[in-house]
Chains A and B, each alone.
Chain A
């Protein structure tokens, strides 16, 4: 059973006086497996938040269905095992950190003794124990994000949904959140998080889904997603006779001589094979062959250009 199962999900918003239709999400199919960290990436306005809001019951889909833990998302009971951190979260700023967590705990009917213990553990985990009795209006953005995560974990959920948990944070803040997410995975939780910051996703996700313009463009394991798209291959070899070097230069995208070595960059496998053949003929020695894979960044840019 998949933790999240999304089938043909679409959402249209109607905006303005004439109720113009805006397709925020089109025919999304997606599943998230138990225990994985799933990264949901896409540029601004791609439809990530829209998807997350549908999953958490904040908005209703125009068409399509979704299941969490195998149950329809309209069933509120599934929310017992979900933790959610919205995008740019705003909280009751008149509450102190402890009151705040206590309030959410009561929405789950967790018993009192357990509440107190859990609040302390969570505050400790997000490094806010010192600020237990401080009103949220005094919190910095990073602190708010962290208390938001604590809030999402108050019910010890099986699935955690985080919408752009790292946006607006400094590198230390991002690392901290990344660590927390990894720790969730260690505890056996499934994490679904959205982001448009690729390095975050690259580092911790098991699988990613890429959303552009409301449509899912790609989904899969990060390395397979990237390795199928070798951007270039870097070959380095020992020096050879000039004729051979000349023919390699003609083939390659880039070729330089440095430190008594030849560095060649080719764009595809056939070019690579030919270069290797020439090196063999010229009795050159192959020193290294490094496929330069595409980064997420490259993928992203290509998709945007492609549009």
Chain B
């Protein structure tokens, strides 16, 4: 499989890069530091550990998705490594998809390592912790996949710095669209109302994937909801990848 070959090569590149280990180290350190923080808070210690653990998985996942994602395609063009690949019997979209899946593979490994550390820590504090946190991690992972696709989209036509800025903004906005719509609906101007509503449905709504607070407070989250959120993620990713492929297909590599 050509796509798999590209994906594995991308994964290999990430694995042989130091930045991954640095980030992983900090993530584990942060999860571990929740023990300390937990001690400072009187009462609900596992809440702090869960908060910190989930936040670390999400934050460091986002950092990796953005840091690696923005260079994903750009580096291949910059270093001209793409030249030899495009000259092989492979469609450009296959190359793009391979790069994407390669980074996703990297993220899977990363998230699994972090989650294992986190859950072991939980077991140390509670004999039988609520395994609903796995649902939260699952949705965090879908958020990461969506962010990666956005990083890839920008990376397919602009420099890493610009892509980084764009992707980061999308990440922030993605978490605020709900609030924006709410603010907009309070506005008197119909135009503002419509614009915020339009943006709400157009921009990625990353809050869909955020069930951290629910899970930490043991509020049930149905599988139906998880399914909706995952489908939303997959469809959104499909759209983003489609746009990336269109842009990528048309550009010159010079």
A→B interface (CB under 8 Å): 13, 53, 56-60, 76-80, 82, 84-86, 88-92, 94-95, 99, 103-104, 106-109, 148, 151-152, 155, 161
Contacts and interface: CB of A to CB of B under 8 A. Distances in A.
A84 B16 contact: no
Interface string B87-103: 11111000000000000
Contacts of B5: 103, 106-107
B252 A59 contact: yes
Contacts of B13: 92, 94
Contacts of A107: 2, 5-6, 85, 88-90
A95 B13 CA distance: 8
B86 A57 contact: yes
A90 B253 CA distance: 14
B78 to A, nearest CB: 9
Contacts of B22: none
A79 B253 contact: no
B133 to A, nearest CB: 35
Contacts of B91: 76
A53 B254 CA distance: 9
A84 to B, nearest CB: 4
B250 to A, nearest CB: 8
Contacts of B250: 60
A91 B81 contact: yes
A109 B79 CA distance: 25
B89 A91 contact: no
A109 B84 contact: no
B90 A76 contact: yes
Interface residues of B, number: 27
A84 B250 CA distance: 21
Contacts of A78: 89
B254 A84 contact: no
Given A13-B254, A106-B5, A107-B2, A79 B84 contact: no
Contact of B87 (A57, A95, A103): A57
23 contacts: A53-B83, A58-B83, A58-B86, A58-B252, A58-B253, A77-B89, A79-B87, A84-B84, A86-B83, A86-B87, A89-B83, A90-B80, A90-B81, A92-B9, A92-B81, A104-B84, A106-B4, A107-B2, A108-B88, A151-B84, A152-B84, A155-B88, A161-B87
Contacts of B83: 53, 56, 58, 84, 86, 89
Contacts of A79: 87-90
A43 to B, nearest CB: 20
A291 to B, nearest CB: 43
Contacts of B253: 53, 58-59
Contact of A106 (B2, B79, B81, B84): B2
A88 B84 CA distance: 12
B2 A76 contact: no
A89 B84 contact: yes
A90 to B, nearest CB: 5
Chain B CB within 10 Å, residue with most, of A13, A56, A58, A108 = A58
B162 to A, nearest CB: 16
B12 interface: yes
B89 A58 contact: no
Contacts of B85: 107
Contacts of B79: 90
A219 to B, nearest CB: 24
B254 A86 contact: no
Nearest to A151: B84
Contact of B254 (A59, A88, A89, A104): A59
